[in-house]
Amino acid sequence: MPKIQNFKMYINGEWVDSSSGKKIQTLNPENNEVWATVPEANEKDVDKAVQSAQNAFENSWSILHPRDRAKYLRLIADQLRENAEHLGKIETIDTGKIYRETKTQANYIAEYYDYFAGLADKVEGTVVPIDKPDMQVTTTRIPIGVVAAIIPWNSQMLLTAVKLAPALAMGNTVVIKASELAPVTLLEFAKLIEKTGIPKGVINIITGLGEPCGKALTTHNLVERIAFTGGPETAKHIVKNSAENLSQVSLELGGKSPVVVFDDADQENALNGITAGIFGASGQSCIAGSRLYLQSNIYDEFLDKLITKAKKIKLGGPMEEDTQMGPLNSFKQLENIEKNIKSTTEQGGKIRCGGERSSVSNKGYYFPATIIECENHNLPVAENELFGPILSVMKFDNEEEVIKKMNDNKYGLSSGVYTSNFARGHRVSKAIRAGIVFINTYRLISPMAPFGGIKDSGYGKEAGIESIKEYTRIKTTWYNSSDKPISDPFTIG
Ligand code: NAD
């Protein structure tokens, strides 16, 4: 059996164990074996990380010119490009996501740091057309302070970049808490950060459980901003925690994203987009297109083609080059999927392919591409976020009906529309209550494109030009240019 590797946290530029000496074991989803341990941070460790971030904020980072902060962001980007393969491997071992995707993503994430480096010295203030003679009023964008970034286990390099890069660019310092389900990638990333020579304490990366670690971080009185990505139940804790320190919160939560295929769609393109949307990353993506609505007159034909395609998907070891779907991240996830499928079939849902744990390995958490026909979208698999390769398929007759159906879910993160009719594509995309709409495509990201949801999928956009302002506050400054003293100190005006 390979030796278990022990990792340390990165606090104030030093590699440390938790003060209690406690550790978390992390499993390899491919074989259910412990492959690494990381420190289990407690309140004391969190306090140390936040204090060091506060110290760096006051004494080095916030007073550096934005152009100089940008230089460090570009160094992070360089490190990511140089080490994309290594990071990809670690992420694959820790999460089960296929190596083809993790290494490509680690490389692409460098673009986010370059993008925000470019923006760092372009955020300007204003001069207010003030209604008082002899006064000039300006607004400037100032950093907020210590940012707590709470990261889920999936797409962690991306979800870290969209928080860390704008936060640093604007002069904030950061404490990142990695997910206990796959904490190692971010600790490896910390090694790259160290190589850039960024001042100590500007970036701290800690590992721990939701409680006490995540709770201690999000209630800490020196934390001024919480950037959270994860599930909606955890988000409710985060919002309550933020009542303790009155920090500004952004939430990127789950989804149950609807996709519609009209009878005039380019079917081959739709088949590929749907496959990418729900079977890419084994469906473990917050924007997974997991509810599919097919127009009645193409329903049987299109569904048969989709089933044929899904059956051919190669499930296998995540490091293998020809693997298309790897294992799920945890056994708990697999059990949750099975529970939802069981209650759906008991209520009339029909499994058309997949539907049962795969025999590809009797150790890893493998689940095949699964398609389930549902007469209504209130069946459990069609209503709940499953975070797995499970597609629920429903029928519709006309545009008005499908818009209602697509909007009939508590989430509002992503959505997809397949049609060759431009006017219809435009109408439907406008009517869908979601933060993102893909028309005749799916599952794309970019540092330039804002990302985030509405309804129970959260609030606050990540990526894109506006998102950098989410890491600033406006300061208003009054300049008195009058030669005369203030006339009456007891009035306002
Ligand atoms: P999760 O909510 O279980 O955990 C997310 C993070 O919150 C972890 O680091 C965890 O330790 C921490 N946490 C848990 N309890 C906490 C508490 N009381 N206080 C502070 N922190 C606490 O999510 P997960 O299972 O790791 O990830 C899957 C979820 O994330 C899915 O719902 C998915 O849709 C969502 N997600 C959303 C996006 C997006 O951008 N919208 C992207 C990826 C994942």
Average pLDDT over residues 438-449: 97
Strand-pairing partners, residue 205, are 10, 176
Percent of the chain with pLDDT over 70: 100
92 to 28, 32, 50, 171, 327: CA distances (angstroms): 9, 13, 30, 32, 10
* CA–centroid distance, residue 252 to ligand 1 (Å): 9
Specify the ligand 1 atom closest to the Cα of 462: 40
| pLDDT tens per residue, range 309-345 | 999 999 999 999 999 999 999 999 999 999 999 999 9
Instruction: Find the 152 Cα to ligand 1 centroid distance in Å.
Output: 4
Tokens coding 440: 């005749």
DSSP line for 115-160: HHHHHGGG---EEE--SSTTEEEEEEEEE--EEEEE--STTHHHHH
Position 369 pLDDT exceeds 80: yes
* pLDDT of 23 over the 70 cut: yes
| 396 Cβ inside 6 Å of ligand 1 | no
Nearest to 109 by CA among 89, 80, 138: 80
The protein residue with its alpha carbon nearest to ligand 1, atom 30, reads 230
pLDDT tens track for 105-119: 999 999 999 999 999
Average pLDDT over residues 30-47: 97
Whether the Cβ atoms of residue 106 and residue 87 lie closer than 8 Å to each other:
yes
Q: How far apart are CA 74 and CA 297, in angstroms?
A: 52
Distances (CA, A) of 162 to 107, 334, 487: 15, 29, 50
How many C-beta atoms surround the C-beta of residue 476 within 10 A? Answer: 11
Domains of the chain in sequence order: 5-253+457-477 (3.40.605.10), 258-439 (3.40.309.10)
- For 227-260, the pLDDT digits (tens) are 999 999 999 999 999 999 999 999 999 999 999 9
Mutational pocket test of ligand 1: of 156, 278, 286, 336, the residue with most ligand atoms within 8 Å of the beta carbon: 286
Decide if 384 contacts 374 (C-beta within 8 A): no
Which residues are catalytically annotated? 252, 286
For the segment 23-36, the average pLDDT, to the nearest whole number, is: 96
Q: Is residue 360's pLDDT more than 90?
A: no
Contact between 151 and 158 under an 8 Å Cβ cutoff? The reply is no
Ligand 1, residue 451: give the atom nearest the CA: 40
How far, in Å, from the CA of 231 to the mean position of ligand 1?
A: 5
The strand ranges marked E within 407-451 are: 411-412, 416-418, 438-439
Q: Please report, for the chain, how many H helices and E strands are present, in that order.
A: 14, 23
Ligand 1 binding pocket mutation candidate from 50, 154, 234, 330 (most atoms within 8 A of CB) = 234
Condensed to tens digits (0 to 9), the pLDDT of residues 87-141 reads 999 999 999 999 999 999 999 999 999 999 999 999 999 999 999 999 999 999 9
pLDDT per residue over 145-178, tens digit each?
999 999 999 999 999 999 999 999 999 999 999 9
Task: Look at the block and give the residue holding tokens 């490509």.
Answer: 104
Q: Is the peptide bond before 212 cis (omega within 30 degrees of 0)?
A: yes
